[in-house]
């Protein structure tokens, strides 16, 4: 088998990085998988170049420095999914759609910088549910929202929880106390 044919073989590691930048190109969140970039400085340089190429463009995909990058903007945010140059753009676009729909539900259709920063913990959980170590795990935004909000319900004060949530929490506590 030649090196070229092994590069074209499909694998599970379709995502090389995910980044969320603000309207000025500053990083809000970024996660890179498998030593794609050696240092944070290299990552930020790549993000700056990516932002400069896309912040005025009307497309959804760009090839930059050997990466296929899918991007989308919303109000004052730019979302990026990066894959290898030979990565299937439809898969990367599917990841972007899942990410954007999940965040839209989590942020109650208010996908903007202020709301995202206020809910950054849930945003990071959603990203981890969608992609782990560069492997695309979940494509259903509703499933992601349910998993993320289920984790968040445990953190609500008692007076803000519904009766069903209180009962569920009590069941979990009893189960864990019996298992000890």
Residue 3 binned pLDDT confidence (cut-offs 50, 70, 90): very low
Q: Tell me, what DSSP letter sits at residue 88?
A: -
> Three-class SS string for 103-150?
HHHHCCCCCCHHHHHHCHHHHHHHHHHHEECCEECCCCHHHHHHHHHH
From CA 83, how far away is CA 119, in angstroms rounded? Answer: 26
DSSP state of 109: T
pLDDT digits (tens, 9 = 90+) for 67-89: 889 999 888 899 999 988 888 78
What's the CATH fold of domain 3-153?
Answer: Beta-Lactamase (3.30.450)
Identify the pLDDT of residue 6. 47
pLDDT at 10: 64
Contact call for residues 117 and 147 (beta carbons, < 8 A): no
Mean pLDDT of 132-136: 84
3-state DSSP assignment of residue 21 = strand
pTM beyond 0.85, yes or no:
no
Total H helices, total E strands in the chain = 7, 7
- Percent of the chain predicted with pLDDT > 70: 81
Asked if the model's pLDDT at residue 160 lies above 60, the reply is no
Residues in the chain: 180
- Per-residue pLDDT tens digits for 86-122: 887 888 889 999 999 998 888 888 888 888 888 888 8
Domain ranges of the chain: 3-153
Of 10 and 107, which is predicted with more confidence? 107
């Amino acid at each position: 088998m030649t090196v070229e044919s092994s590069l074209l073989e499909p694998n599970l590691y379709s995502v090389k990085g995910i980044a969320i930048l603000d309207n000025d190109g500053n990083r809000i969140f970024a996660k890179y998988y498998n030593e794609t970039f050696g240092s944070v400085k290299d990552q930020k340089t790549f993000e700056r170049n990516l932002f400069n190429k896309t912040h005025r463009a009307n497309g959804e995909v760009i090839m930059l420095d050997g990466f296929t990058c899918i991007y989308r903007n919303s109000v004052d945010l730019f979302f990026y999914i990066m894959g290898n140059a030979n990565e299937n753009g439809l898969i990367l676009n599917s990841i972007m759609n899942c990410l954007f729909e999940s965040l839209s539900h989590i942020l109650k259709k208010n996908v903007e910088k202020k709301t995202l920063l206020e809910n950054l913990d849930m945003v990071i959980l959603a990203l981890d549910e969608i992609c782990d170590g560069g492997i695309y795990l979940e494509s259903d935004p509703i499933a992601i929202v349910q998993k993320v909000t289920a984790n968040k319900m445990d953190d609500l004060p008692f007076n803000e929880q519904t009766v069903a949530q209180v009962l569920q929490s009590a069941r979990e506590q009893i189960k864990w106390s019996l298992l000890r």
